[in-house]
Amino acid sequence: MERRDAMTRRLILMRHGQAHPLQPQQEDFSRTLTERGGHDAEVMGRLLMRRGWVPDGIVASPAERTSATARIVAIACGFDVSRITFAPDLYLADAEQYWQTLETQDAALGCLLICGHNPGLSRLASRLGKPAKRRELPTAGLVTGVWQAAGWRGLELGMAQDCEPAGPQD
């Protein structure tokens, strides 16, 4: 289990699991996870548990595929599903919107998971750490960043440490 102190902030950016293709007369928002998408989300929740990265908070887009991913991950890593926050402004958000969401989080949360969509999520992940590095998150993929700071507001993207990507095959 990872040792956390009051000054450590771990951000986990996670892309939703694989979703069914958009069907005629279907709204993108209502796309559901495939069987593989659900399986991969469960694998990633167990990976978070193994690595000691169980979040203190989860914020997710309310789109069906993203909310399902967040719930499956939460169950797999022992996070109380009723504590997931669904933020409508994260649906197809850009990198800046994800970052703004991060900055509004309670300083008591030492480890935060944000579950969302590409391309915004991968664009934000690419800006973590120095030097910036292109990171294309696969479905159910994640990347983490760690800062030594008292809270989430005012963090600098480029100052993140331990920017570890992980996917369902890891």
Return the pLDDT at 164: 82
Sheet of 142-148: strand order equals 85-86, 57-60, 111-116, 8-15, 142-148, 165-166
Nearest to 34 by CA among 49, 48, 15, 21: 21
In a domain, 79, yes or no: yes
- Could you report the per-residue pLDDT of 91-107, keeping only the tens digit for each? 999 999 999 999 999 99
In a domain, 1, yes or no: no
Report the alpha-carbon distance of residue 145 to residue 158 in Å, rounded.
10
In a domain, 3, yes or no: no
In a domain, 135, yes or no: yes
Domain that holds residue 64: 8-19+30-166
How many domains in the chain?
A: 1
| Bridge partners (DSSP) listed for residue 166 | 142
> For the whole prediction, is pTM greater than 0.75?
yes
Return the pLDDT at 161: 93
Report the alpha-carbon distance of residue 66 to residue 81 in Å, rounded.
13
In a domain, 141, yes or no: yes
Return the pLDDT at 5: 62
In a domain, 65, yes or no: yes
Q: Which residues contact 155 (CB under 8 A, 6 or more apart)?
A: 9, 102, 103, 147, 149
Instruction: Report, as ranges of residue numbers, the positions in the chain whose pLDDT lies below 70.
Output: 1-6
In a domain, 24, yes or no: no
CATH code, domain with 161: 3.40.50.1240
